[in-house]
Amino acid sequence: MMTDKVRIDSFGANSLNGNNETYLARQAEFESNVRSYPRKLPLAIAQAKGVWITDVENNQYLDCLAGAGTLALGHNHPDVLQSIQNVITSGLPLHTLDLTTPLKDQFSEYLLSLLPGQGKEYCLQFTGPSGADAVEAALKLAKKVTGRAGVISFSGGYHGMTHGALSVTGNLSPKEAVDGMMPEVQFMPYPHQYRCPLGIGGEAGVKALTYYFENLINDVESGVRKPAAVILEAVQGEGGVNPAPAEWLQRIRKVTKEHGILLIIDEVQAGFCRTGKLFAYEHAGIEPDIIVMSKAVGGGLPLAVLGIKKEFDAWSPGHHTGTFRGNQLAMATGLTTLKHLTENKIADKVAAQGEWLKGQLASMQKRYPVIGQVRGLGLMIGIEIVKPNEAQDHMGCYPSDPELSALLQKNCFKAGLILERGGRNGCVLRLLPSLLITNDELAIFLDKFEQALLASGIKPV
Residue 135 has pLDDT above 60, yes or no: yes
Of 384, 285, 162, the residue nearest 265 (C-alpha): 285
CA distance 131 to 304: 6
3-state secondary structure the chain: CCCCCCCCHHHCCCCCCCCHHHHHHHHHHHCCCCCCHHHHCCCCEEEEEECEEEECCCCEEEECCHHHHCCCCCECCHHHHHHHHHHHHHCCCCCCCCCCCHHHHHHHHHHHHCCHHHHCCEEEEECCCCHHHHHHHHHHHHHHHHCCCCEEEECCCCCCCCHHHHHCCCCCHHHCCCCCCCCCEEEECCCCCCCCCCCCCHHHHHHHHHHHHHHHHHCCCCCCCCCCEEEECCEECCCCCEECCHHHHHHHHHHHHHCCCEEEEECCCCCCCCCCCCCHHHHHCCCCCEEEECHHHHCCCCCCEEEEEHHHCCCCCCCCCCCCCCCHHHHHHHHHHHHHHHHCCHHHHHHHHHHHHHHHHHHHHHHCCCEEEEEEECCEEEEEEECCCCCCCCCCCCCECHHHHHHHHHHHHHCCEECEEECHHHCEEEECCCCCCCHHHHHHHHHHHHHHHHHCCCCCC
Residue 286 has pLDDT above 50, yes or no: yes
Which of the four pLDDT bands, split at 50, 70 and 90, describes residue 103? very high
A 10 A CB-CB count for 432 gives 28
Average pLDDT, the chain: 95
Residue 383 has pLDDT above 80, yes or no: yes
- Give the pLDDT confidence score for residue 6 in this predicted structure: 47
Which of the four pLDDT bands, split at 50, 70 and 90, describes residue 18? confident
Q: Is residue 234 a contact partner of residue 283, using CB atoms and an 8 Å limit?
A: yes
Counting every residue, how long is the chain? 461
Q: What is the pLDDT of residues 405-417, one digit of tens each?
A: 999 999 999 999 9
Which of the four pLDDT bands, split at 50, 70 and 90, describes residue 3? very low
Of 206, 217, 210, the residue nearest 256 (C-alpha): 217
Q: What is the pLDDT of residues 386-439, one digit of tens each?
A: 999 999 999 999 999 999 999 999 999 999 999 999 999 999 999 999 999 999
Rounded to an integer, the average pLDDT of 29-50 is 96
Rounded to an integer, the average pLDDT of 305-325 is 97
CA distance 412 to 182: 39
Q: List CB contacts of 160: < 8 A, sequence separation 6 or more.
A: 130, 131, 132, 133, 135, 136, 166, 169
- Give the pLDDT confidence score for residue 177 in this predicted structure: 82
Nearest 10 degrees: CA dihedral of 35, 41, 45, 50?
A: -120
Residue 321 has pLDDT above 80, yes or no: yes
Return the percentage of the chain with pLDDT > 90, whole number.
95
Q: Is residue 342 a contact partner of residue 272, using CB atoms and an 8 Å limit?
A: no
Rounded to an integer, the average pLDDT of 2-16 is 48
CATH superfamily of 20-65+346-456: Aspartate Aminotransferase, domain 1 (3.90.1150.10)
Q: Is residue 20 a contact partner of residue 57, using CB atoms and an 8 Å limit?
A: yes
Q: What is the pLDDT of residues 329-362, one digit of tens each?
A: 999 999 999 999 999 999 999 999 999 999 999 9
- Residue ranges per structural domain of the chain: 20-65+346-456, 81-344
Which of the four pLDDT bands, split at 50, 70 and 90, describes residue 12? very low
Residue 290: phi, psi to the nearest 5?
-135, 130
Q: Is residue 317 a contact partner of residue 323, using CB atoms and an 8 Å limit?
A: no
CA distance 192 to 282: 19
pTM of the model: 0.95
Q: What is the pLDDT of residues 185-198, one digit of tens each?
A: 999 999 998 999 99
Between 327 and 2, the more confident residue is 327
Residue 8 has pLDDT above 70, yes or no: no
Q: Is residue 281 a contact partner of residue 288, using CB atoms and an 8 Å limit?
A: yes
Q: Is residue 63 a contact partner of residue 51, using CB atoms and an 8 Å limit?
A: yes
The sign one gets for the Cα dihedral 133, 135, 137, 143 is negative
CA distance 335 to 322: 21
From residue 461, give the alpha-carbon distance in Å to each of 339, 370, 399. Answer: 46, 11, 19
Measured at the CA of 208, the angle between CA 207 and CA 212, to 5 degrees, comes to: 120
Q: Domain 81-344 belongs to what topology?
A: Aspartate Aminotransferase; domain 2 (3.40.640)
Determine the residue type at 250. Answer: Q
Rounded to an integer, the average pLDDT of 97-126 is 98
